[in-house]
Amino acid sequence: MAFKVLGGVTTCVVGNCGMGAAPWQPATLMARAFHPDNEVPEYEGYAGYFAHLSKSAATPNVAALLGHGTIRLSVMGVDDREPTSAEMNAMKYLFNEALDNGAAPRRSSNWRPR
C-alpha cells in the first residue's frame, strides 16, 4: 500500500459492505471478484492480516471493519437460511477473534455478541 502513502493517504477503512479481511479463504474469494488478477498472501485471522500489513515498508493506518459477509461465508458457505446454533457459535468465535486482534466494529468495542 505504499502507493497510498505516496499519494497522501494516511488512513484506509477496509471491510466495507460486509467484505472483511478474514478469514483468509472467503476474503480471498471476495477480493478476486473486484481484483481477479491480484494474489492475496495467506494469513491466519485478523491477527495475521495486521501482522502482514505491519511488514510493509510504508503503509497507511488501517481500520479493518468486521466483514459480516466474510464471516458468514466462511461458516455457512452460500446457504440462504438461518444459521444453526453451532454455526452461530462459530461466527461469534470469528467475530471475537477479529475484535481481540484489532478489527473495528461499527459499534462500541465493548459490545460483544451474546
**60-76, pLDDT tens digit by residue?**
888 888 888 999 999 99
Query: What are the phi and psi torsion angles at 14 (to 5°)?
Result: -115, 160
> Is 114 a domain residue?
no
> Is 106 a domain residue?
no
The helix (H) or strand (E) run that includes residue 69 is: helix 68-76
| Cα distances (angstroms) measured from residue 13 to each of 19, 76, 100, 104 | 12, 26, 18, 9
> Is 107 a domain residue?
no
In terms of residue numbers, what domain contains 28?
A: 2-34+44-53+60-100
> Is 112 a domain residue?
no
> Is 19 a domain residue?
yes
pTM: 0.71
Model confidence at 8, in pLDDT bands (50, 70, 90)? confident
The domain tally of the chain equals 1
> Is 70 a domain residue?
yes
